[in-house]
């Protein structure tokens, strides 16, 4: 196998691994909490608490930083958004209004921007030499 082909396979596997990890972390942090909290005044919040979302973001930073540090730049930028897109689509697709796709889109754009910024920061700190 040529070096370029081996590199492409490694990058593809890294993207798949980060996507699978993002799905697993979504399930661990957000997948079990499916009920809205109704307050005495009749308003509702949820289903997620802020600490759950913060926990998800912090634990997703670790594999993104690792991939960027190891120079798996496509995986660092694309893996997490792909996994979060799949997880949020699966988790929210039972919404009858169809508005869940707006939320999925926001998750994808937000995670893509965040992973790109983190990857760019690590890449600039580490340098681009091989």
Q: Which residues have CB under 8 Å from 111's CB, separation 6+?
A: 60, 80, 81, 84
Per DSSP, the three-state class of 104 is helix
| 41 vs 68, more confident | 68
Q: Above 90 in pLDDT, residue 108?
A: yes
pLDDT at residue 128 in the model: 56
Q: How far apart are CA 12 and CA 19, in angstroms?
A: 11
Mean pLDDT of 101-126: 95
pTM listed for this prediction: 0.86
Q: Above 60 in pLDDT, residue 12?
A: yes
Q: What is the mean pLDDT of the chain?
A: 89
Q: Which residues have CB under 8 Å from 92's CB, separation 6+?
A: 100, 103, 104
- CB count within 10 Å of CB 60 equals 24
């Amino acid at each position: 196998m040529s070096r370029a082909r081996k590199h492409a396979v490694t990058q593809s596997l890294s993207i798949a691994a980060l996507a699978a990890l993002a799905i697993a972390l979504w399930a661990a942090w957000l997948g079990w909490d499916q009920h809205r909290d109704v307050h005495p005044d009749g308003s509702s919040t949820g289903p997620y608490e802020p600490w759950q979302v913060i926990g998800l973001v912090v634990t997703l930073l670790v594999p993104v930083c690792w991939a960027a540090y190891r120079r798996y730049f496509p995986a660092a930028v694309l893996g997490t958004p792909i996994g979060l897109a799949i997880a949020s689509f699966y988790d929210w697709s039972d919404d009858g209004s169809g508005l869940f796709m707006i939320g999925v889109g926001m998750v994808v754009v937000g995670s893509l921007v965040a992973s790109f910024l983190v990857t760019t920061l690590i890449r600039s700190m580490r340098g681009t030499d091989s």
